[in-house]
Amino acid sequence: MIDSRQMKAKEFIKNEIATGPASAIASKILSVKITKQQNLPTFL
């Protein structure tokens, strides 16, 4: 579950970076959030 979500998130981030600098900044924030979520216990 987490792996597929990570792959989708990475693809989404790559697409966002391709659209422009502002989106690239947002994608960095998203990637930080994703990294922090990996360290949290799973509630699923």
Residue ranges of the domains in the chain? 4-35
- pTM of the predicted model, to two decimals? 0.32
Integer Cα distance of 18 and 2 in angstroms = 24
Integer Cα distance of 18 and 3 in angstroms = 23
What pLDDT tens digit does each residue of the chain (44 aa) get? Answer: 567 888 888 887 777 666 677 667 777 777 777 666 666 665 54
* Model pLDDT, residue 29: 78
* Model pLDDT, residue 11: 84
> Which amino acid does the sequence have at 3?
D
